[in-house]
Every structure is written in C-alpha cells, then in structure tokens.
Amino acid sequence: MYPLLVQVFMDEQTTITALRTHVSNFRNKRNWLKDNTPKNLAISISVEAAELLEHFQWKSDEQIREGLKDRIKKNQVSDELADVLILCLSFSDVMGIDISEAIEAKLRKAAEKYPVMKA
C-alpha cells in the first residue's frame, strides 16, 4: 500500500513559498529559467494581464455578470488570472522578492495615503 502522493493545492493551506516552488520547478524542468529575465517576465505579465482584460472589453458590468454564470467562461478567466500569477511568482523568484512582505509594505504606504475615515 502506497500513500497518496498527489499534492493538493488550495488557498486555505498553500503558502506563497509552496506555490512559488511549484511554479519554479515546472519552469526549471523545461529549461526556461535562462529566458526568465526580469524584463522578459515583465513583458509577459503585461501580455497576460491584457489577455485577462480582453474578456471584459466592450462589455458592461451587467453583461459581464451574466456571462460569468457560464462555467466555461469563468474557467477561461480563471486561466488568464493563473497566467498572470504564474509569471508574477516566477518574477518574484528571479528577483528574490518576498511577496507577502512586498504587499504588506505597499499596504502600509497606501494606508497613509488613504486613511480610513471614522464615522
């Protein structure tokens, strides 16, 4: 009897490091690391972000809400978001950026710029 070897990825239990390692392994096995320069990754993050945006162009928020009830459509959007994030994870790997720290630092600055109004 062998234990189940498949790793299940779910946001509740997956750390950023685990997800990044998963993405980096995928990339390294294919010898793509050499092309993963910060510039090339930043280009592709922009390209994939635009593919995500493409799903919403020429449509009103109402039309989009209707369209997203379709499972296939929602999965396509999900796939485009994944593409953006896979590249961002690889970018953070190559650059040595701790994403949680970077987000926390950015939110702290944003909190000063946009303080919460008291009632």
What's the CA gap between 63 and 73, in Å, rounded? 13
Min. distance of Cβ 2 from a copy of itself in angstroms?
A: 21
Min. distance of Cβ 8 from a copy of itself in angstroms?
A: 8
Min. distance of Cβ 1 from a copy of itself in angstroms?
A: 25
Min. distance of Cβ 5 from a copy of itself in angstroms?
A: 15
Contacts of 64 (CB under 8 A, 6+ apart): 56
Please name which of 101, 87, 76 lies closest in space to residue 43, comparing C-alpha atoms: 87
Cβ atoms of 42 and 33 within 8 Å: the answer is no
Whichever of 70 and 74 has its CB closer to a copy of itself, that residue is 74
Whichever of 1 and 72 has its CB closer to a copy of itself, that residue is 72
Whichever of 70 and 97 has its CB closer to a copy of itself, that residue is 97
What's the CA gap between 29 and 71, in Å, rounded? 32
One-letter amino acid identity for 93?
D
Whichever of 3 and 103 has its CB closer to a copy of itself, that residue is 103
